[in-house]
Structures are given as structure tokens and as C-alpha cells.
Amino acid sequence: MCPDPSAGPSASPCPHCGQPARLYRNPVPTVDTVIELEDGSIVLILRKNPPLGWALPGGFVDYGETVEQAAVREAAEETGLSVKLGKIVGVYSDPHRDPRQHTISVVFAAKAKGTPVGGDDAGEARAFRPDRLPVQLAFDHRRILDDYFQMKSQRTIR
């Protein structure tokens, strides 16, 4: 069915009928990963692009990519680590979670071995003991980590 041209803002013409097509603005899909190393430490990256600060490794899902593929790719790009994904920690969609635009993040728990090294958008990657995490974290990553540790204490994440 072709769009109703009176339904709102238009963009390009409908490929089927040539009428103005309605423009939809949707949240952008992203991923974040809580990477736990063998010693129980958590990997965070120091962002080198705004918004600045310590954050979980993650980023935008590329077109044609699954969220799982994006999580593994982003973790490798930003930390140099090869991760094994575990359970989903949650889906975070507060329209104000990212000051740049409305994003929806699927957050995974993951395990990895090795020493993190910052790359791509990460100026630095470092392992932190859970009781020594930075006070200020970017985005809603403090809430995500709180949820992760709560799930872990309830043994829903191994």
C-alpha cells in the first residue's frame, strides 16, 4: 500500500507510486558489552570522541549486521580482545541516554582473556576491579553495570 501524502512530513517519492513518502525518524540501534576478564575485572574504554569519559566498549550496529556481530566487532576494535558473548544484560532505550541522538542499546555480558588495548574510538582501554570503577561513566553505563552486578549476584549471569 502506498503512503498517504497528507500523513505528515515527506522525504523521497514512494518507489511504487511516486507520491511523497512519509519520513520516519527512529532510534538508532547500538550495542554495549560488559567484558569480564578471568580475574573478575571489567574492561572500560576512555572515549576519545565526545561524549568523553569512561564507557563500556560498544557502538553502532552496521547495516546488514546482527547485534551479536556488532558487539564482537566493537569489542575487538575498541579493546583488542576477542570476546565470548554470554547473556543479554538488558535493552536500554531512554531517549536521553546518548546526548547525540536517541539510541537503543542491546547490552551483552562477555568473557575475554588478555590485556585490553585501546583502539578505534577508544583512546585507552583498561581493566578495573569491580570495587574500583571510575565514579563518572559516560551515557547510562553506571546503571548498566549496576544491573550487571545485580544479575551476577543472582547467578543469572555466569
Distance CA 43, CA 125 (A): 7
**Is position 124 annotated as part of the catalytic site?**
yes
Residue 105 β-bridge partners = 30, 92
Q: What share of the chain is helix, strand, coil (3-state, %, to 5)?
A: 20, 35, 45
Q: Which three cell numbers stand for residue 13?
A: 517519492
* Residues labelled catalytic: 124
